[in-house]
Amino acid sequence: MSFGNALYRARSYVRHQLTAWHTGGEGIHSPTLFYIVRMIVYDANAYYAYPRIEQQRAALLRSTATVQQLDYGTGSDMPQAGTPLATLTRVADIARTHLESPKIAQLLYRLVNYLTEAEQRPLTVLELGTSLGITTAYLASPSPKNTVLTYEGASDVLDEAMAIWRTLGLTNIQPVV
């Protein structure tokens, strides 16, 4: 790329950033998609479940406990084909690297909340990979009538998640190892 081309791209990018405006969903023609973008994606309200779940996330990040984590991986570095690789891992390290960000987890909460209201019936949510259960808590919190079916490969990690769900009083989660 020549210097002139790079300069043109940089100038175009800066001009776009200065003149572009945020539509907030304007221009979306489908009423349902407009509502989802406007009322769910851009919703800045703090729901009742957020602080309690985020307290559990903070506790996980401070935890000094260790658990046996199983890596099912692709099999290339496994000792025997089809056998998961077990490693002893700190809970805080799993929380730091594997948990969904609060922004995305809260978006999932709002989406499940909307779908529960829109359908006027309980939902069944399927989650593959429970990890420490923070995102599962967000999925289960909108309505106790919903069911969250979650799969986790490591029973030690799932035990940590189940302790969090008990603390939060969530009884509508069905974990599967």
Q: Which pLDDT band, with edges at 50, 70 and 90, does 16 fall under?
A: confident
| Residues 66 and 93 sit within 8 Å (Cβ to Cβ) | no
**Mean pLDDT in the chain?**
87
Q: Which pLDDT band, with edges at 50, 70 and 90, does 3 fall under?
A: confident
Burial status of residue 53 (CB atoms within 10 A of its CB: 0-12, 13-18, 19 or more): buried
Distance from C-alpha of 173 to C-alpha of 139, rounded to nearest angstrom: 9
Say yes or no to pLDDT of 42 above 90: no
Say yes or no to pLDDT of 166 above 70: yes
Quick one: tokens of 20? 């572009």
**What is the percent of the chain with per-residue pLDDT over 90, rounded to a whole number?**
50
Say yes or no to pLDDT of 138 above 80: yes
- Name which residue leads in pLDDT, 84 or 76: 84
pLDDT digits (tens, 9 = 90+) for 57-78: 999 999 999 998 877 665 555 5
The region that residue 25 occupies, defined by phi over 0 for left and psi between -120 and 50 for alpha, beta otherwise, is: left
Distance of CA 92 to the CA centre of its chain: 17
What is the greatest pairwise CA distance in the chain?
Answer: 62
Closest of 59, 24, 53 to residue 41, by C-alpha: 24
Q: Are strands 85-90 and 66-71 parallel, antiparallel or unpaired?
A: antiparallel
| Residues 165 and 131 sit within 8 Å (Cβ to Cβ) | no
| Residues 86 and 69 sit within 8 Å (Cβ to Cβ) | yes
